[in-house]
């Protein structure tokens, strides 16, 4: 199978494996539930393979996964490309010293945290998150990592 057609069939398989739930978590929202993708071994493998193909030659040092689904997709990508994995979590979930970044939601504010020293200045960072609604969490992660003076080396992965 040619590379182009193989990619098309993988994307179609991934798309078919993601359950769509109307009006969740509130009316008017069309929620794409990736937990059903995890039940389909081949579709899950295809999704990781596509991510790895996209980033394997970009000299990524760190894959930073945003809670919670960034924890599902980030570690296999990190292992496959030879990078370390750094979790970015909700407040008070990480032991030890952390740095934090607050961000605005539609209905208030939230915060994410990362261990101090988990990412070193100059490391190339790939951020993995499952979706972008308002972009607040991703922007906070970029600022959090940017506080480490890594912003010029930041690569974004939007799944």
CA distance 142 to 103: 11
Strand partners, 103: 110
Closest CA to 119 of 90, 104, 99: 99
Strand partners, 126: 63, 155
- Is 97 part of the annotated catalytic residue set? no
Which one from 10, 19, 32, 69 is the annotated catalytic residue? Answer: 69
- Is 113 part of the annotated catalytic residue set? no
Helix pair angle (3-17, 41-55), 10° resolution: 130
CA distance 44 to 36: 9
CA distance 52 to 35: 20
ω before 14 within 30° of 0 (cis)? Answer: no
Q: Which residues are identified as catalytic?
A: 69, 106
């Amino acid at each position: 199978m040619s590379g182009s057609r193989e990619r098309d069939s993988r994307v179609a398989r991934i798309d078919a494996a993601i359950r769509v739930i109307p009006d969740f978590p509130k009316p008017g929202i069309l929620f794409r539930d990736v937990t059903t993708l995890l039940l389909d071994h081949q579709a899950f493998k295809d999704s990781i393979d596509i991510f790895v193909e996209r980033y394997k030659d970009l000299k990524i040092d760190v894959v930073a996964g945003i809670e919670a689904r960034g924890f599902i997709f980030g570690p296999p990508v990190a292992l496959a490309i030879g990078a370390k994995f750094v979790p970015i979590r909700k407040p008070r979930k990480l032991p030890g010293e952390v740095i934090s970044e607050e961000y605005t939601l539609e209905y208030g504010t939230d915060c994410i945290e990362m261990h101090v020293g988990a990412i070193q200045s100059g490391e190339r960072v790939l951020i993995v998150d499952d979706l972008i609604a308002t972009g607040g969490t991703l922007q906070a992660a970029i600022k959090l990592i940017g506080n480490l003076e890594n912003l010029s080396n930041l690569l974004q992965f939007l799944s």
